[in-house]
């Protein structure tokens, strides 16, 4: 088995795909040559790609910016930016720094005129990082944790969070009015709906109070009278001071992965850019494809982008990409020259320092040799330690972008 060659190919494909979806060129192409009149131009950049997007904007706009704020996840800032205040805060659950940073963003965007513009740079993670909760923070944290643990997807979680926030669901744009708000977004949600990305702080809200209530009831979460009252309130359905551009998404990530596969001699096949099942089911499905195509006479790659969910059945450590990869390892067992990797484009997968995981036809045997049973590990949701033991953790550090996840199955001939 050519495992070292496969691992090298996986690394090249991943690096090329991530480089292709860094926000720099997208931000610069939207802003280059654009006139912002003579009013103030205030930058607010939120999300796990917040620093990278803000740096690109600073490079283009320079002294035209009259100041601004960057709010990103802990460890995702890469240094000072001219005229910017940089905050790091909690994700996926907001914390006190999220609230303090958001309070400052509201302060610098208060009392703007119709001549002014807010350049609002948005990326995944913004929903937790840009937080002005209308309920106690501990209540919001607990509700978010319960929704995540129950397997709610990002659209469902954001539908709830919008109704419990003073900035989500279009409310930030209302706060900035009458100033114009230009939103430039990197999408980390399936379908690239601007109302869902970071819970749509500057976009008319398509969710309904009935929908928010239904999500909480579907997963059997308790509802007190105050949360019920807030969820029943409607969010803004029309906004007249906003312009929105979606500059990057998982579609771009998958296309870049396919180009990289092609350059290495694999015939790429895009299966979907809307993967939205459990991580274990996705891993099982992709490994089933590997078994079907073992008789291929040429190298092939199967690509799936999107965002899976993890059903918590244990108290181990891991993330959805690591769990997907480990689930695939069961059926890849013994397959020649076959490997799979799955990564989060932001470089962080769940509450770990890994971006995702890599497995091949030897992974299951490596784990058996160490007394590990994959099915038992999956039941404990402990994919991190299993992949660590098999040499399959993928660690990139913060990448500067965030456009969902990509899984790539490689069969080398």
Contact 102, 132 (CB under 8 A): yes
Could you tell me which of 277, 206, 202 has the C-alpha nearest to residue 241? 202
14 found inside a domain: no
8 found inside a domain: no
> Residue 87: its pLDDT value, please?
98
17 found inside a domain: no
* 238 shares a domain with 137: yes
* 98 shares a domain with 64: yes
How many other CB atoms sit within 10 Å of the CB of residue 166?
Answer: 16
CA 236 to centroid of chain Cα atoms: 25
Could you tell me which of 88, 165, 169, 156 has the C-alpha nearest to residue 134? 165
> Residue 412: its pLDDT value, please?
97
Q: What is the DSSP letter of 69?
A: E
In the numeric block, which tokens belong to residue 273? 């850019």
* 171 shares a domain with 189: yes
20 found inside a domain: no
Contact 209, 234 (CB under 8 A): yes
> Residue 2: its pLDDT value, please?
63
165 found inside a domain: yes
Could you tell me which of 246, 253, 259 has the C-alpha nearest to residue 274? 253
| Structural domain span for residue 395 | 251-411
| CA atoms of 41 and 119, how far apart (whole Å) | 7
Q: What is the pTM of this model?
A: 0.84
Instruction: Residue 319: give its domain's CATH number.
Output: 3.40.1480.10
The total number of structural domains in the chain stands at 2
> Residue 340: its pLDDT value, please?
98
* 257 shares a domain with 207: no
* 130 shares a domain with 192: yes
94 found inside a domain: yes
* 143 shares a domain with 235: yes
26 found inside a domain: no
User: Among the three residues 217, 248, 279, which one is the final residue of a domain in this structure?
Assistant: 248
pLDDT in 10s for each residue of the chain, 413 residues = 467 899 999 999 999 999 999 999 889 989 998 999 999 999 999 999 999 999 999 999 999 999 999 999 999 999 999 999 999 999 988 899 999 999 999 999 999 999 999 999 999 899 999 999 999 999 988 888 888 888 888 778 878 888 999 999 999 999 999 999 999 999 998 889 999 899 999 999 877 777 888 899 899 888 888 999 999 888 899 999 999 999 889 999 999 999 999 999 999 999 999 999 999 999 999 999 999 999 999 999 999 999 999 999 999 999 999 999 999 999 999 999 999 999 999 999 999 999 999 999 999 999 999 999 999 999 999 999 999 999 999 999 999 999 999 999 999 99
| CA atoms of 310 and 327, how far apart (whole Å) | 12
* 145 shares a domain with 273: no
* 194 shares a domain with 67: yes
CA 233 to centroid of chain Cα atoms: 28
Q: What DSSP line would sit under 74-125, residue for residue?
A: TT---S--TTEEEEEE-SSS--HHHHHHHHHHHHHTTT--TT-EEEEEE-TT
Contact 70, 86 (CB under 8 A): yes
User: Among the three residues 195, 217, 248, which one is the final residue of a domain in this structure?
Assistant: 248
> Residue 53: its pLDDT value, please?
97
> Residue 149: its pLDDT value, please?
84
| CA atoms of 289 and 303, how far apart (whole Å) | 11
Instruction: Residue 62: give its domain's CATH number.
Output: 3.40.50.10180
* 241 shares a domain with 259: no
2 found inside a domain: no
* 362 shares a domain with 221: no
> Residue 92: its pLDDT value, please?
83
User: Among the three residues 248, 271, 303, which one is the final residue of a domain in this structure?
Assistant: 248
* 325 shares a domain with 311: yes
* 341 shares a domain with 263: yes
């Amino acid at each position: 088995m050519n495992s070292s060659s496969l691992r090298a190919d996986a690394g090249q494909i991943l690096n090329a795909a991530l480089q292709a979806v860094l926000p720099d060129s997208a931000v610069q192409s939207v802003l280059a040559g654009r006139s912002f009149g003579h009013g103030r131009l205030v930058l607010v950049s939120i999300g796990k790609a917040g620093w990278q997007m803000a740096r690109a904007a600073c490079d283009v706009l320079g002294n035209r910016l009259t100041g601004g704020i960057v709010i990103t996840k802990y460890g995702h800032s890469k240094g000072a930016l001219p005229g910017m205040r940089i905050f790091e805060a909690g994700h996926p659950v907001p914390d006190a720094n999220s609230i303090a940073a958001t309070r400052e963003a509201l302060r610098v965007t208060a009392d703007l005129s119709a001549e002014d513009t807010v350049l609002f740079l948005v990326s995944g993670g913004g929903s937790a990082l840009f937080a002005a909760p209308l309920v106690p923070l501990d209540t919001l944290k607990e509700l978010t944790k319960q929704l995540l643990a129950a397997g709610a997807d990002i659209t469902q979680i954001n539908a709830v969070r919008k109704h419990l926030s003073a900035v989500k669901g279009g409310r930030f744009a209302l706060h900035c009015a009458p100033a114009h708000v230009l939103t430039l977004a990197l999408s980390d949600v399936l379908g690239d709906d601007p109302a869902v990305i970071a819970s749509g702080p500057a976009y008319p809200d398509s969710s309904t109070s009935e929908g928010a209530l239904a999500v909480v009831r579907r997963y059997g979460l308790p509802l007190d009278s105050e949360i019920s009252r807030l969820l029943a309130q409607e969010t803004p359905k029309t906004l007249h001071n906003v312009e929105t551009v979606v500059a990057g998404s998982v579609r771009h990530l998958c296309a870049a992965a396919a180009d990289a596969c092609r350059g290495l001699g694999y015939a790429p096949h895009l299966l979907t850019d809307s993967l939205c099942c459990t991580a274990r089911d996705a891993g099982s499905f992709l490994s089933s494809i590997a078994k079907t195509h073992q008789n291929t006479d040429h190298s092939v790659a199967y690509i799936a982008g999107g965002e899976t969910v993890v059903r918590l059945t244990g108290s181990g450590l891991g993330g959805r990409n690591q769990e997907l990869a480990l689930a695939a390892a069961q059926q890849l067992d013994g397959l020649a020259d076959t490997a799979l990797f799955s990564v989060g484009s932001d470089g962080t997968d769940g509450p770990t320092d890994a971006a995702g995981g890599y497995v091949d036809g030897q992974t299951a045997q490596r784990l058996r040799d160490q007394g590990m049973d994959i099915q038992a590990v999956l039941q404990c949701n402990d994919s991190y330690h299993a992949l660590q033991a098999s040499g399959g953790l993928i660690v990139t550090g913060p990448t500067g972008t965030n456009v969902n996840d990509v899984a790539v199955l490689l069969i080398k001939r």
